[in-house]
Amino acid sequence: MVTDLQFQPPDREPHQLEGLRVLVLGLGRHRGGTDLVHFLHNRGAQVSISDPASPDELGPSLDSIKGMVSGPSRIGEPHHPGDLDECDWVVVNPAIRPGSPILDEIAARNILPVTELGLALSWLPSSQMALVSGTHGKSTTCQLASQMLTASGIKAVAGGNLGGSLLSKLDDEDLGQLRLVVEISSFQAQRLANCGAGAAVVAITNLNDDHLDWHGSREAYHEAKLSLLRTSGGRDSVAILPDCGPLAQAETGTERQVIRCRSDGTEPHSRRVGDQLEIRTRDGATLTVRYAPTVALEGPTGLDNALHSATVAAALGATEEGIAKAIGLYAGLPHRYQPVGEHDRVQFIDDSKATTLDAVASALERSDVAVHWLCGGRPKSDPKCNSLQVDMLLQPLQDRQCQIYCFGEAASRWQQALSSLGTAPIECHEKLDDAFASAVDHARPGETVLLSPGGTSLDHFQSAEERGEHFQRLIQQLK
């Protein structure tokens, strides 16, 4: 694993990029790279790109930057050391793994290694910014907190790992009033350590195991997330943390005050009391908010998401009325426990982004009715599918009536592991379509068909989003 390459903050301001030679290493398909190219081009930088994906895969991204790339480009081929010969900066895509040979090449040269997010966090006002990370719930927390601020009459935007680039906000006429709620993945966090990303608010929703193949160990994965707590955000900065799990005893090591969510102790806390949320603010006050959640916020996981979102939003100035309004209207993010319709009084839930067993347990716990659970995909914990540690699903499966439909290339492995729990009938299918058809046949009015796979989509689909969209098309065909 690379140890020498240290990502850095920019060595100049946004208005000083004229003539700067920048290599964008990994254009990607989620707008972060293309928005970055737009930003650099508009400020007079000379941009080059390198991405091993094929021109067909990158088609829309390449189309959107046509005419903006003035330096050499390498598309559909591996990154090459020669691409580094004539550049001042190299912007590394977060998907490029530690240990990649091109990172060793960068470390050996007099080139400034930066990230798109590191640039944005260095140049945007930190006093109006919240960084949100965690194994689960970070996307929901960012989006919902942003909506709470908007409902409070405060201009806000959610960005970062959610997609696109926050660099465009540097041109916002109302930047002085804008609140920024930024999702940070573990990949991004690991490369922000030296970038001075000292936001006023840092929230970590939870810590479980994920992306261990990328980070190399549980300790390295946790450390990437925890490094955000050690950034200095100033005298009034806060860290928002749960009161359970690995984060229960986490300390910041800085002047940040800590606000715990669901704490019953004497520390500052945000919690649910009856049908209300008591939300602690940065100045020690408490906001009292009526809690009337939508389906997207039901159950223990929904409550956790609401508490973290409200505490983040309150720290950036949201009101009681705005927080309550956003909770009552929240529709959820695509493919994250998303209600996607009914047929013959059977409800369908798309939770395709649930790619870990922790996420599946949370999804199962949300339902009080009989569940027809569609599971499958390549387990992250073991890409070779030699074993599945499903013990954490025992209680959620025991607590409700459930029938299980395994699908995909690892379906038999899922079936074998889940059969050891002895809690529910299990079927095994080659494709999602077949598992879906069987679940629909068995489901009765008032019950739920839940796609919450537990594994990655890469056995049959390009992404979790594509898997969820396929599931939704199957539902539409019923109608």
- The 3-state secondary structure of the chain reads CCCCCCCCCCCCCHHHCCCCEEEEECCCCCCHHHHHHHHHHHCCCEEEEEECCCCCCCHHHHHHCCCCCCCCEEECCCCCHHHHCCCCEEEECCCCCCCCHHHHHHHCCCCEEECHHHHHHHHCCHHHEEEEECCCCHHHHHHHHHHHHHHCCCCEEEEECCCCCHHHHHHCCCCCCCEEEEECCHHHHHCCCCCCCCCCEEEECCCCCCCHHHHCCHHHHHHHHHHHHHCCCCCCCEEEEECCHHHCCCCCCCCCEEEEECCCCCCCEEEEECCEEEEECCCCCEEEEECCCCHHHCHHHHHHHHHHHHHHHHHCCCCHHHHHHHHHHCCCCCCCCEEEEEECCEEEEECCCCCCHHHHHHHHHCCCCCEEEEEECECCCCCCCCCCCCHHHHHHHHCCCEEEEEECCCHHHHHHHHHCCCCCCEEEECCHHHHHHHHHHHCCCCCEEEEEEECECCCCCCCHHHHHHHHHHHHHHHC
> What pLDDT, on a 0 to 100 scale, did the predictor assign at position 397?
94
> What pLDDT, on a 0 to 100 scale, did the predictor assign at position 479?
76
What amino acid is encoded at 232 in this protein? S
Dig out the tokens for 378 from the structure: 């390549």
Tens digit of each residue's pLDDT, the chain (479 residues): 444 588 999 999 999 999 999 999 999 877 879 999 999 999 999 999 999 999 988 888 999 999 999 988 999 999 999 999 989 999 999 889 888 999 999 999 999 999 999 999 999 999 999 999 998 899 999 999 999 999 999 999 999 988 889 999 999 988 989 999 999 988 888 888 666 557 999 999 988 767 666 667 778 878 888 888 888 777 789 999 998 878 887 877 678 889 999 866 666 689 999 999 999 999 999 999 999 999 889 888 899 999 999 999 999 999 999 999 999 999 989 999 999 999 999 999 999 999 989 899 999 998 889 999 999 998 875 444 456 789 999 999 999 999 999 999 999 999 999 999 999 999 999 999 999 999 999 999 999 999 999 999 989 998 999 999 999 999 999 97
Q: What is the pTM (predicted TM-score) of this model?
A: 0.88
Domains of the chain: 14-114 (3.40.50.720), 118-329 (3.40.1190.10), 338-478 (3.90.190.20)
